[in-house]
Amino acid sequence: MTTTLQDCRALDAQDPLHALRELFDISEGTVYLDGNSLGAMPRSAPARVAEVVTQEWGRDLIRSWNSAGWFELPRKVGDQIARLIGAAPGTTIATDSTSVNLFKVLSAALRISAQRSPGRWRIVSERSNFPTDLYIAEALCKDKGWELVLVEPHEIADALKDEKLAILMLTHVNYRTGAMHDMAAVTKAAHDAGALVVWDLAHSAGAVPVNLTAADADFAVGCGYKYLNGGPGAPAFVWVNPRHADSCWQPLAGWWGHDKPFAFTPDYQPAAGIVRYQCGTQPMISLAALECGVATVLAAEPFGGMAALRRKSLALTDLFIQLVEERCAGQGLALVTPRDHAQRGSQVCLSRGQGAYAIVQALIARGVIGDFRAGDGAGHPDILRFGFTPLYLGFEDVWNAVEHLRQVLESGEWQRPEFNRQHAVT
Ligand SMILES: *Cc1c(COP(=O)(O)O)cnc(C)c1O
């Protein structure tokens, strides 16, 4: 049965989460399908950031470290994020970038593994993992004389049989394909094989339900500016299983990770728990914006929280796939993202023999904002990538996006020269 525009409007009218889009200020006519790269701006953010700047910084000055709770803000926002990822209070901290946090937790995991089983010195990850994750691991391996081994998703089970395997480092939802791992099953298999597991939740936190505690994961990092809507370059977060939190120093042992930072002692004494995963002074203006972003996701709690967001996300991505297949049939598009709900994150990726970049540019010119990810010449094709944030997207948006895609393809509009010029950021 085909779906019509009227059907989509009816779905929006019945959607209990529909009102949450009022938390954002998205221009009329824009369909924003790039919240997996930069989340939309919460309406509350400009006033909150202005308050931090003019009142807390401008008037209260240095007193704000105490009076405005600045010093505790990374822990406070960390605890808010913890509610979205199945983490206990006091185990998560909002700090630094995903790349830097990955360096900290991989280093800690290397130390723990080396103490436990010195014969293990390999890190395994996916070839199509986000490059910064691979670069950080590569650099660490170079420094420590360890080895990074890259495999395809279907080779992970075999890689676990390697007796030299120390750490399995995976991104829960793949940034290119939108494919999602079964976190609990993979973690258990890795533990059974004697390895530690580091999860990157960049495309999971605020996008899909995550339960780090139930999965008994070892370490996790994640991004503040994607589905958490924290703003460009927002602080990221780091979670450490309490069983590891006090077992070693992380290498970026700055004074904010010290047990008594204001004792100003010349030697380092790590704080207990997750606080030692802070390095130096944290960015308060950015943290205030991140808190606004996390609040937009927590605003779904009265409506069923992450489970309700997940239901809507799957309904949106199902509809997008169905409409693309119905309305853009014969246009050379192929679905890259898994159809199986259990293996799908909150995005849909399409490939096409040629023109992926230009098609995305033509869509952006029409106000349908997705993005393009280049193929790697090693079996991973060029991709048109569409992220679906159920907080601010509705079913009519999905209809409009596919209608624009159909028009761009049928008219050949994407072949115009202006859509074939490469920008620095794709
Ligand atoms: C977006 C993303 C990052 C970003 O890292 P930064 O340090 O913020 O640049 C890292 N890893 C994955 C898997 C991502 O998707």
Q: What is the CATH number of the domain that holds 314?
A: 3.90.1150.10
Domain match, 353 and 275 both: no
Domain boundary among 265, 298, 331: 298
130 lines ligand 1 (CB under 6 A): yes
Q: Which residue has the higher pLDDT, 343 or 421?
A: 343
Domain match, 291 and 347 both: no
Domain boundary among 232, 264, 298: 298
Full residue range of the structural domain in which residue 261 is found: 71-298
Ligand 1 centroid – CA 35 distance (Å): 13
pLDDT of amino acid 246? 97
pLDDT of amino acid 424? 80
Q: Is 130 in the active site? A: yes
Number of domains observed in the structure of the chain: 2
pLDDT of amino acid 379? 77
Domain match, 331 and 408 both: yes
Asked if residue 156 is part of any domain, the answer here is yes
Identify the active-site residue in 226, 327, 344, 373: 226
User: What is the average pLDDT across 85-113?
Assistant: 98
Asked if residue 426 is part of any domain, the answer here is no
Domain boundary among 269, 298, 327: 298
Task: Tell me if 212 sits within 8 A of 199, measured CB to CB.
Answer: yes
Ligand 1 centroid – CA 130 distance (Å): 7
Q: Is 312 in the active site? A: no
pLDDT of amino acid 118? 93
Identify the active-site residue in 103, 225, 395, 419: 225
- Residue with the nearest Cα to atom 1 of ligand 1? 202
The answer on pLDDT for 378 being more than 90 is no
Asked if residue 370 is part of any domain, the answer here is yes
Shortest-distance atom of ligand 1 to CA 226: 1
Q: Is 200 in the active site? A: yes
Q: Which long-range contacts (CB under 8 A, 24 or more apart) does 233-236 make?
A: 233/97, 233/286, 234/286, 234/289, 234/290, 234/293, 235/74, 235/77, 235/94, 235/95, 235/96, 235/97, 235/282, 235/283, 235/286, 235/287, 235/290, 236/94, 236/95, 236/96, 236/97, 236/98, 236/100, 236/101
Q: Which residue has the higher pLDDT, 15 or 2?
A: 15
The answer on pLDDT for 267 being more than 90 is yes
- Residue with the nearest Cα to atom 2 of ligand 1? 202
